[in-house]
A = this chain, B = another copy of it.
């Protein structure tokens, strides 16, 4: 696995749904990069035994964690503890780019 990555060169987008690109992965964690076109979302879901951190690199998104929902932009981080429902929605007008860490890998 490559140790040095230019993250912005790795961002991909898909016409149909958010596009996930894996950057690093071990048994202990993974680090992905998500590209959302305007209107795309990650549906509400739960990881029962993994914690997640989102870090917004570009654009802005509506992040829901449990009962809390906020619109946040570049330079904001969102923490999702194991067992908590969470979702992301890019209402546009820009593309949304998010770095995602999860531990352990589910």
* Across-interface contacts of A75 in B (CB, < 8 A): 6-8, 57
Chain B residue with Cβ nearest A8 = B75
**A59 CB, min distance to chain B CBs, angstroms:** 14
Q: When chains A and B are docked, how far (Å) is the Cα of A26 from the Cα of B82?
A: 10
Q: When chains A and B are docked, how far (Å) is the Cα of A40 from the Cα of B99?
A: 26
Q: A103 to B28, Cβ gap below 8 A? A: yes
Check if A38 is an interface residue, CB within 8 A of chain B: no
Q: When chains A and B are docked, how far (Å) is the Cα of A31 from the Cα of B79?
A: 9
Q: A99 to B26, Cβ gap below 8 A? A: no
**A51 CB, min distance to chain B CBs, angstroms:** 5
In the complex with contacts A55-B7, A99-B55, A31-B1 CB distance below 8 A? no
Binding site for B on A (CB under 8 A): 1-8, 23-24, 26, 28-29, 31, 50-51, 53, 55, 57, 63, 65-66, 68, 70, 72, 75-82, 99, 101, 103-104
